[in-house]
Amino acid sequence: MRLATWNVNSIRTRVDRVTDWLARAEVDVLAMQELKCTDAQFPALPFHELGYEVAHVGFNQWNGVAIASRVGLDDVTVGFPNQPSWAKPGDEPAVEARAIGATCGGVRVWSLYVPNGRELADPHYTYKLNWLAALRDNAEGWLRDDPSAPIALVGDWNVAPTDDDVWDMAVFEGKTHVSAPERQAFNAFADAQFTDVVRPFTPGPGVYTYWDYTQLRFPKKQGMRIDFILGSPALAARVSHGEIARDERKGKSPSDHAPVLVEISR
């Protein structure tokens, strides 16, 4: 099974690019983030025409996550237990469209769009840390209930866990994505037995999944590695290949992220 994750940065803008890549890369399951549309606006037909079922959740023009699968789409769950809520000043707190899970070809897949955090002093930063902690507690519980479960936690984590995962640490000093608490929150998933199953196939510095649209970051190779596939022990043992489809950041109207893909043996 070929499983991939991609922050598409507006599915309505990039549905043709996404479905074209699905066909070319022979992807069986694709987790998507940052849909930027409501459920009613999601362009499901092009996926259905390719033989994919799609589960998605989007409440407004922000956030939004989805899973497209051609190997089954069962037990769809929107959000995880105790997922933290967020509210702008003056608004009622609400759970955002940042997590959706489904069982695809026997693998439990979670498409995740971790909060950005914005600035270290911003309340959104605390929200981000709480969100990661709640997800980690759930993930640990899932494995406690079934240690042999094949689980994939995939998506845009908005954390660069090592200095090699950003093009210049000096540029990020005092900013989010690289702070010690964020990295500790990410590394806590390893303590819960979830491992980065792509990095062994894509080692070294300068290997990124995101390049900002501004200041020619992509041609200058000034990126960040913030999109990951974390696997439970049972899943990690079955991963035979991993890659970052960097070329999908090229061309007309690309997302600012590239897809991340693994092959999972039966």
Q: Is 53 helix (H, G, I), strand (E, B) or coil?
A: strand
Confidence at residue 194, expressed as pLDDT on a 0 to 100 scale: 98
Length of the chain as a residue count: 266
Q: Which residues contact 98 (CB under 8 A, 6 or more apart)?
A: 63, 65, 79, 83, 112, 113, 114, 115, 131
Ranges of the chain whose pLDDT falls below 50: none
Separation CA 113–CA 124 (nearest Å): 14
pTM value surpassing 0.95: yes
CB atoms within 10 A of CB 30: 30
Measure the N-to-C terminal CA separation of the chain; round to a whole number of Å: 7
Residue type, 4: A
The pLDDT assigned to 143 comes to 98
Q: Which DSSP symbol is given to 40?
A: G
CB atoms within 10 A of CB 254: 18
Q: Are 242 and 259 in contact (CB under 8 A)?
A: no
Geometric angle at alpha carbon 257, from 10 and 173, rounded to 5°: 120
Residue 245 has a pLDDT of: 98
